[in-house]
């Protein structure tokens, strides 16, 4: 026993309109960029800071610009997790950002000693403008 053609038509129409409506809504809604990087974990060494953390997109390139020395450091990460060292003193201003595909995050700036919880709070340091990345 088959269904009459009149009752099949609304069901077929639903199968056609549903996906079309969903694809239209996907095109209309904005695509939000990934988040900016969270502050890294910092461990201080003699003349170096060890940075560890994760960015919210992968694969990505994570960059750190030491604004006191002008040196640039970076690492490619296939998973978003990173761990590398940068040449830096406790109160050098560092800017960290990442790039994933064509997206470039805003930079976060920090002093290694402040993030690491060292006693030196870097208040007396003359630092360049904290405009971040490249």
For the beta carbon of residue 46, count every other beta carbon within 10 angstroms. Answer: 5
On whether the CB atoms of residues 114 and 125 are closer than 8 A, the answer is: no
Domain spans, the chain: 41-116
Sign of CA dihedral 71, 77, 82, 85: negative
pLDDT at 2: 62
pTM of the model: 0.70
111: which strand partners? Answer: none
CATH classification number, 41-116, choose in 3.40.50, 2.60.40, 3.30.450, 2.40.50: 2.60.40
For the beta carbon of residue 17, count every other beta carbon within 10 angstroms. Answer: 10
Q: If the chain, 134 residues long, is cut into consecutive pieces of 10 residues, what is the mean pLDDT of each piece?
A: 60 62 58 78 95 96 98 98 97 96 95 82 63 51
- The 3-state DSSP class for residue 19 equals helix
For the beta carbon of residue 24, count every other beta carbon within 10 angstroms. Answer: 10
């Amino acid at each position: 026993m088959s269904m009459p053609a009149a009752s099949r038509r609304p069901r077929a129409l639903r199968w056609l309109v549903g996906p079309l409506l969903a694809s239209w809504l996907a095109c209309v809604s904005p695509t939000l960029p990934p988040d900016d990087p969270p502050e890294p974990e910092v461990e201080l060494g003699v003349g170096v800071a060890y940075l560890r953390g994760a960015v919210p997109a992968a694969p990505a390139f994570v960059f750190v610009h030491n604004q006191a020395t002008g040196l640039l450091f970076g690492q490619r990460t296939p998973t978003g997790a990173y761990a590398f060292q940068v040449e830096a003193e406790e109160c050098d201003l560092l800017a960290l950002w990442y790039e994933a595909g064509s997206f470039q995050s805003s930079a976060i700036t920090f002093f290694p000693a402040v993030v690491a919880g060292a006693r030196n709070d870097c208040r007396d340091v003359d630092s360049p403008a904290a405009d971040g990345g490249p």
